Amino acid sequence: MSMVYEQSTRVVLVPHWLSAADRDALATSLEEALTRADLPATTADRLVDVLTELHVARARDVVWPSSTARVRLVTGWDPDTLPVRLSAMELACTLSLPELTPPVRAALTGGRSL
């Protein structure tokens, strides 16, 4: 039983806006990395979570399209740009992969500007 005054920290998921091409490239590099033999098990778990999150982002857009549509209206991005919500550990595991292509790496670190 935890003390009353202890705050239970929740994992914060930060949205990263990725276009369809970025998401496909990310999925390909994740699948390549998962077939590697020397990948640590914890990293593999988190990469599987990122793969799930790519599907979940599309499902979220089907069920609640209006909030992402509003953002896309203001910024003028493509209609298939979706926010992918990653925790800090998942982002770190993804960025540590050498298979990650430079455009996806830039999209995940710098944020979209076009």
Partner 1 sequence: MPALGSPLRLLTRLDRRTCDLDDLVAAATRLAATGVPGLCLQVEDDVRRPALLVEEDERLWRVDLADLADELPSTGADLGPAGLDRALREHLTRRPATDAEAARRGVAVLAWAGPAGDDLAWQVAVARGDRLVGWAPHPFTSALDVLAVREAARARAADVVVRCTVEGPVLLLDADAPLLATAALAAPEQVVARSAELGLLLADGSVVVTPGRPVAWAPRAVAARLAGEGVEPCVLLPWRELADLPWV
Binding site for partner 1 (CB under 8 A): 13, 51-56, 58-60, 62-64, 66-67, 85
| 14 closest CA partner among 101, 85, 109, 79 | 85
Nearer to partner 1, 14 or 106 (CB): 14
Token pair 């992918």 in the structure block, residue:
84
- In the complex, least distance from residue 54 CB atom to partner 1, rounded to whole angstroms: 7
Q: Which residues pair with residue 15 across a beta bridge?
A: 85
Tokens (6 digits) for 77: 């991005």
Could you tell me the smallest distance in angstroms from the CB atom of residue 5 to partner 1?
Answer: 25
Two structure tokens written together for 108: 């995940």
Nearest to partner 1 of 88, 106 (CB atom): 88
Q: Residue 29 Cβ, how far from partner 1 at the closest point, in Å?
A: 17
| Closest CB to partner 1 among residues 67, 96 | 67
The tokens for 78 are 């493509």
Q: Which residue number, 59 or 114, has a Cβ lying nearer to partner 1?
A: 59
Q: What are phi and psi of 86, to 5 degrees?
A: -120, 145
